[in-house]
Structure 1
Amino acid sequence: MKAAVLTETGQPLSIVNGVALAAPQRGQLLVKLAYSGVCHSQLMEVRGKRGPDAYLPHMLGHEGSGRVISVGDGVTKVSPGDLVVLGWIRGEGLDGGGVRYECNCPRHSAINAGGVTTFNEYALVSENRVVPLPAGIPLDVAVLFGCAIPTGAGIVTNDIRPVPGNTIAVFGLGGIGMSALMATKLFDCARVIAVDVEEDKLLLAQSLGATDAINARQVDPVAAIKALTGGMGVDYAIEASGQAAVIEQAFASVRRSGGTCVFASHPEHGTRISIDPFELICGKQIRGSWGGGSNPDRDIPLFAKLYLDGKLPLEKLLTRRYSLAQINEALDDMEHHRVGRPLIEIDGNMETPR
């Protein structure tokens, strides 16, 4: 098969042919990929901003969709022929562990992989990293259920659960931030404030229900949020930009006496955030979110129904398609804010239940 492989951090991915397929072992299944998403965390890993990488060379990608080709011993969750969502958040089923692919290529005899990868034509995947594709969900939209939706929307539906009249600010309108923003419309929030540095993303956020939009390149977002909330700040701030400085801004934007900043982003390795401890004494809170507190087997069917009911227009997040050979272009476009959630089309002819 063909795969995009990280051979050296800080360098483009290598498109490698001749990666040998193998039969799935206990707890694993072999999946033929239809589509993959591209998450900001993958960009950080390629650019070497996750710190030392002990597993080079290795495959990447952690949200995708495809069809099960075969299953190993012990796998009962899916069967050959099933369409599935692939994601990094562990769900029900066996953990088949990491994978080491043999490779008939000039530079490497073997390539490492984790429990799930999606920048490749086929993948050996752990059973606990897949969920059966809910009926009616297109295979391209399905990739968002692997990371963006359970993390972003999950922060709102699982971690925050706002009550009527709450105010929320969303910092960073990539796949996770935009998913969180869409999920706020499931609740009766008084104000939903979108914060980003790109006007097209802010316009999309307003079309998806944001009551206010703040361009952080043009104004101080904390001052602007305070002005919109009578000087108090918001009840909740969701930070999804992946920058330590923005986590600090999000924390500064929440009100005293119970305001909460929740972040799911992972800034560059070695960076630190700085907050005034007096603000904690005054009742502000800050916490991280691991995958939006989602259980994929429970939450993906719920989010799928919301999509089918027209309450989560996820197709609007997929702003551009790329081939697997164009993966580095997709990463560059993401890095320079030219695209929302890049979609890698690996086998667009695979049957999809539209």
Structure 2
Amino acid sequence: MKTSAAVLVEPNKPLEIVDLEVPKLRRGQVLVEVAFSGVCYTQVLEWRGYRGVDPYLPHCLGHEGSGSVLEIGDGVTKVERDDHVILSWIKGSGINAGGSVYSWGKQCVNAGPITTFNRTSVISEDRLTVIPSNFSLKMAALVGCALPTGLGSVFNVAQPISGQSIAIFGVGGVGLCTAMAAKVNGCTPIIAIDLVEQKLELAKAIGVTHLINASQDSVLERIIQICPDGVDFAIEATGRPNVMCQAIESVRPRGGSVVIVGNARHGEIWELDPKQLNLGKRIFGTWGGDSQPDRDYLRYCNLAMTGSLNLGAFLTPPTYALHGINSALTDLELGKLTRPIIDLSIL
């Protein structure tokens, strides 16, 4: 069986759309027809070579998506043929089957336990979560990374209660999801900080109460105007060390908390003034919002189905065909949209 896929052959070069020979399933692997894939900023970092030396080139990409099960390998009990599933880089229950190797003529193409920039993909059982057949597969693609990372950073890590204040540094895909979670938890005020006015307008539509354009305003001065003692919580979703400094300075002394969500580029160092810790401020790191697929993903789907989460900000931009993957990466890098969606039914 062959499949069309977007392959990273060399950093800083366009992904190549090629036909790959799909390998036979090993124990614990599942063959999935991918319906939709999200594009995370992590893929921009990989594409640009900002994650350090890449020993796996050439390789497939993509770590959040949705689709339906075509075939299951030996030992798989979590999913069945025709199930609708979320594909997520975050490990859940089931066999950890590792990655795969596809064939591109006489060349090998590596793939991790999950890749979603290919129309048919071999996925490790522990990266799949079954969802109701009536849940939108387009929405489900976001539950693979953006939602669990953003929602989880609030629900699982920060855990604010109603009436507490929160500042969100960077309202891309993950940042917008933290804003949704903050609204669900009853936070007020909810402050969004970004350089791109269009993203701030999306944040406003989601329910953010205050907007700060970091290209025009002094961020810390504006936050102190809104919350004179500093905010209770700050979520850092840009991955930039200078913004991490702003985030910890923005929270109140004696109990203010910062959650670091964004991924920094390889080799970047965050220099922290220890006085911020002496003031009783706390810093939390998180990997995927501490979300657990088997515990959390259906809850996130239910929040979306009941309207508690406004996913329109993600779904209103045009979707991209697989051949448009390089445009999607460029548009995401330039801040033109928050989370590109690839429709794998369109080549």
Which amino acid is 1:307 matched to? A
- Residue equivalent to 1:300: 297
**CA deviations over 1:125-154 (Å, ceiling 9, x no partner):** 000001012343211111000000000011
1:65–1:142: 8 Å Cα contact kept in structure 2? yes
Aligned equivalent of 1:277, options 245, 256, 274: 274
Which amino acid is 1:6 matched to? L
Q: Measure, in 2, the Cα distance between the counterparts of 1:178 and 1:348.
A: 27
Say if 2:307 is the partner of 1:310: yes
- Residue equivalent to 1:290: 287
Aligned equivalent of 2:128, options 130, 143, 147: 130
Task: Return 5+ residue gaps in structure 1 as ranges.
Answer: 350-354
1:33–1:66: 8 Å Cα contact kept in structure 2? yes
Once the two structures are TM-superposed, the CA of residue 109 in structure 1 deviates from its matched residue by: 1.1
Matches within 5 A, 1:141-180: 141-180=139-178
SS at match of 1:347: coil
Say if 2:207 is the partner of 1:206: no
Which amino acid is 2:102 matched to? Y
**CA deviations over 1:317-350 (Å, ceiling 9, x no partner):** 132210000100000000111111101010269x
Identical-pair percentage:
45
- Residue equivalent to 1:103: 104
- Residue equivalent to 2:182: 184
Q: Measure, in 2, the Cα distance between the counterparts of 1:164 and 1:82.
A: 37
Which amino acid is 2:6 matched to? A
- Residue equivalent to 2:74: 73
SS at match of 2:184: coil
**CA deviations over 1:221-252 (Å, ceiling 9, x no partner):** 1221112111x211100011122211111111
Aligned equivalent of 1:10, options 6, 9, 12: 12
Q: Measure, in 2, the Cα distance between the counterparts of 1:143 and 1:28.
A: 20
Say if 2:268 is the partner of 1:267: no
State how many pairs are aligned: 344
SS at match of 2:122: strand
SS at match of 2:132: coil
2:23–2:100: 8 Å Cα contact kept in structure 1? no
1:5–1:58: 8 Å Cα contact kept in structure 2? yes
- Residue equivalent to 1:352: none
SS at match of 2:152: helix
SS at match of 2:21: coil
Matches within 5 A, 1:39-50: 39-50=40-51
Matches within 5 A, 1:208-287: 208-230=206-228, 232-287=229-284
Which amino acid is 1:46 matched to? W
Q: Which moved more, 1:309-318 or 1:190-199?
A: 309-318
1:63–1:87: 8 Å Cα contact kept in structure 2? yes
Which amino acid is 2:40 matched to? C
Once the two structures are TM-superposed, the CA of residue 60 in structure 1 deviates from its matched residue by: 0.5
**CA deviations over 1:244-267 (Å, ceiling 9, x no partner):** 211111111111101111011111
> CA 1:325–1:348 in 2, change beyond 3 Å: closer, same or farther?
closer
Once the two structures are TM-superposed, the CA of residue 293 in structure 1 deviates from its matched residue by: 0.6
Q: Measure, in 2, the Cα distance between the counterparts of 1:148 and 1:73.
A: 31
Say if 2:343 is the partner of 1:345: yes
SS at match of 1:287: strand
Q: Measure, in 2, the Cα distance between the counterparts of 1:287 and 1:162.
A: 14
Which amino acid is 2:263 matched to? H
> CA 1:134–1:315 in 2, change beyond 3 Å: closer, same or farther?
farther
Which amino acid is 2:295 matched to? R
Q: Normalising to structure 1: TM-score of the pair?
A: 0.95
Once the two structures are TM-superposed, the CA of residue 207 in structure 1 deviates from its matched residue by: 1.6
Q: Measure, in 1, the Cα distance between the counterparts of 2:298 and 2:331.
A: 31
Moved over 6 A (4+): none
Which amino acid is 1:162 matched to? P
SS at match of 1:124: strand
Which amino acid is 2:134 matched to? G
Matches within 5 A, 1:73-92: 73-92=74-93
Once the two structures are TM-superposed, the CA of residue 297 in structure 1 deviates from its matched residue by: 1.4
What RMSD over aligned residues (CA atoms) do the two structures have, in Å? 1.3
Q: Measure, in 2, the Cα distance between the counterparts of 1:57 and 1:82.
A: 30
Which amino acid is 1:250 matched to? A
